[in-house]
């Protein structure tokens, strides 16, 4: 396998320059390559960093079908685990939902994102794909023309430029694709949900056979299995809190309290290998296109992790964009590209709506006044409906396990 580390010269070109080697960029790159479209991926991080970067781990059935459809799911089926149960722990007791038997009957596949990225990257390189690691995309130029270009800088500081027919911005909310959009080119929809989480990766076996959502007066706590030896936990924390403020002893004490371990059994503990505080935000751009520049993944929209939608939206968007680019470049049909943004936004807004519903379900309202009491009573009512109503459970299952 050849690993291309160096950027090209100012004369380098490709039909499609893909910015970012996350799930969106790598699915897009693989689909373009298999269709005979000349493409190159530019990635700021090094290869080993990509392989180790822990992110989401729950793939919907539709995402698995997309990967299956294009022969990209072999490692997923070998190492992923199907999952279909979640458990809620509240002040009114606990209850489980076998969502794999509700709604449309869809289940998740637990497959850590770094493993998906590693598999997709290996497939792309083995198929002759070009990836330029440790190469920062600086700006997309002339996106409103038929000959856009991307200026880049390698790790050693050398500049370069890639010319393309199209540029696919899959480089996240702070990447060059978003930064290069001129004022007024798109409309931005943004919401800060006023909630912060301490995201944790623990070298500890899962403590539940289910995804665990704990609603507590001290704040939300979440439990998500990643593998037989690693578990993802979340703790709601005050805005402005630093991960350094949380010792391992404090983390495990607070998790045990909020997960009600005294009532339902102790948590498996281990070394905390990753801790990061982040705010729950939603961010959507419309349209997801400016001329010859298209956006996918976190560059197109940001969604809170409360409903595990980010990576799944990225894969869906990558397939839609790949199909549209192939139709244009191989068959001269520009109509699918014209429809790309509207198609994606339909899925994005549905996912955003469910994510907001989950945020309201899992979190209390700060304060002790009438508004707080009112909102918390509504939250308890939602939980009771989810516990008792089959109609509500079917709705939850369809949205939770779908995009």
Residue 189 designated active-site: no
Distances in whole angstroms, Cα of residue 167 to Cα of each of 11, 146, 295 = 16, 11, 9
Fold that domain 193-281 belongs to in CATH? D-Amino Acid Oxidase; Chain A, domain 2 (3.30.9)
What are the boundaries of each domain within the chain? 13-57+112-186+287-356, 193-281
Q: Which of 23, 83, 99, 108 is catalytic?
A: 83
Residue 83 designated active-site: yes
Instruction: Outline where 239-369 has alpha helix (H).
Output: 248-258, 261-264, 310-331, 335-362
Q: What is the pTM of this model?
A: 0.93
* Identical fold between 13-57+112-186+287-356 and 193-281: no
Beta bridge partners of 284: 189, 301
pLDDT at 155: 83
Distances in whole angstroms, Cα of residue 63 to Cα of each of 68, 114, 262, 326 = 9, 16, 38, 20
How many CA atoms does the CB half-sphere of 175 hold within 13 Å? 34
Tell me phi and psi for residue 367, to 5 degrees. 105, 175
Q: Are 289 and 341 in contact (CB under 8 A)?
A: yes
pLDDT at 307: 82
What whole-number distance in Å separates Cα of residue 183 and Cα of residue 46?
A: 32
Residue 213 designated active-site: yes
Per-residue pLDDT of the chain (403 residues; tens, 9 = 90+): 333 333 334 348 999 999 999 999 999 999 999 999 999 999 999 988 887 776 668 999 999 999 999 999 999 999 999 999 999 999 999 999 999 999 999 999 999 888 999 999 999 999 999 999 999 999 999 999 999 999 999 988 999 999 999 999 999 999 999 999 999 999 999 999 999 999 999 999 999 988 999 999 999 999 998 888 999 999 999 999 999 999 999 999 999 999 999 999 999 999 999 999 999 999 999 999 999 999 999 999 999 888 889 999 999 999 999 999 999 999 999 999 999 999 999 999 999 999 999 999 999 877 666 788 898 899 999 999 999 999 999 999 999 998 6
What whole-number distance in Å separates Cα of residue 122 and Cα of residue 132?
A: 14
pLDDT at 260: 97
CATH architecture of 13-57+112-186+287-356: 3-Layer(bba) Sandwich (3.50)
Q: Are 297 and 20 in contact (CB under 8 A)?
A: yes
Residue 400 designated active-site: yes
Q: Which of 223, 309, 347, 363 is catalytic?
A: 309
Q: Are 106 and 397 in contact (CB under 8 A)?
A: yes
pLDDT at 3: 39
Nearest CA among 138, 129, 139 for reference residue 27: 129
Q: Which of 99, 233, 340, 400 is catalytic?
A: 400
Q: Which of 23, 206, 305, 340 is catalytic?
A: 305
Q: Which of 99, 111, 166, 213 is catalytic?
A: 213
What whole-number distance in Å separates Cα of residue 17 and Cα of residue 20?
A: 10
């Amino acid at each position: 396998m050849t690993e291309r580390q160096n950027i090209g010269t100012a004369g380098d070109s490709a039909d499609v320059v893909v910015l970012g080697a996350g799930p969106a960029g790598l699915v897009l790159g693989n689909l373009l390559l298999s269709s005979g479209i000349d493409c190159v991926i530019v990635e700021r991080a090094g290869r080993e960093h990509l392989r180790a970067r822990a992110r989401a781990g729950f793939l919907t059935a539709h995402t698995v079908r997309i990967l299956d459809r294009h022969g990209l799911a072999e490692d997923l089926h070998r190492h992923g685990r199907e999952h279909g149960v979640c458990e809620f722990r509240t002040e009114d007791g606990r209850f489980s939902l076998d969502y794999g038997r509700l709604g449309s009957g869809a289940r998740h596949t637990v497959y850590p994102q770094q493993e998906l990225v590693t598999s997709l990257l290996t497939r792309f390189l083995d198929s002759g794909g070009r990836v330029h690691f440790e190469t920062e995309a600086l700006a997309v130029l002339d996106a409103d023309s038929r000959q856009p270009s991307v200026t880049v800088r390698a790790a050693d500081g050398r500049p370069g430029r890639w010319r393309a027919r199209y540029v696919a911005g899959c480089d996240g909310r702070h990447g060059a694709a978003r930064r290069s959009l001129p004022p007024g080119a798109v409309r931005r929809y943004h919401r800060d949900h006023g909630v912060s989480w301490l995201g944790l990766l623990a070298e500890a076996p899962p403590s539940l056979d289910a995804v665990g959502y704990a609603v507590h007066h001290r704040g939300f706590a979440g439990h998500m299995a990643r593998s037989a030896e690693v578990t993802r936990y979340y703790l709601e924390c005050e805005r402005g809190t630093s991960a350094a403020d949380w010792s391992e002893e404090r983390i495990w004490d607070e998790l045990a309290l909020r997960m009600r371990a005294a009532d339902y059994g102790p948590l498996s503990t281990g070394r905390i290998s990753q801790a990061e505080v982040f705010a729950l935000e939603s961010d959507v751009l419309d349209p997801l296109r400016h001329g010859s520049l298209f956006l996918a993944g976190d560059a197109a929209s940001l969604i809170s992790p409360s409903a595990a939608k980010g990576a799944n939206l990225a894969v869906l968007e990558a397939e839609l964009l790949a199909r549209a680019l192939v139709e244009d470049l191989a068959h001269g049909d520009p109509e699918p590209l014209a429809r790309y943004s509207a198609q994606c936004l339909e899925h994005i807004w549905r996912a955003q709506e469910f994510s907001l519903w989950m945020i309201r379900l899992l979190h209390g309202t700060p304060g002790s006044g009438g508004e707080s009491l009112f909102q918390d009573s509504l939250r308890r009512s939602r939980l009771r409906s989810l516990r008792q109503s089959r109609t509500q459970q079917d709705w939850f299952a369809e949205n939770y396990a779908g995009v």
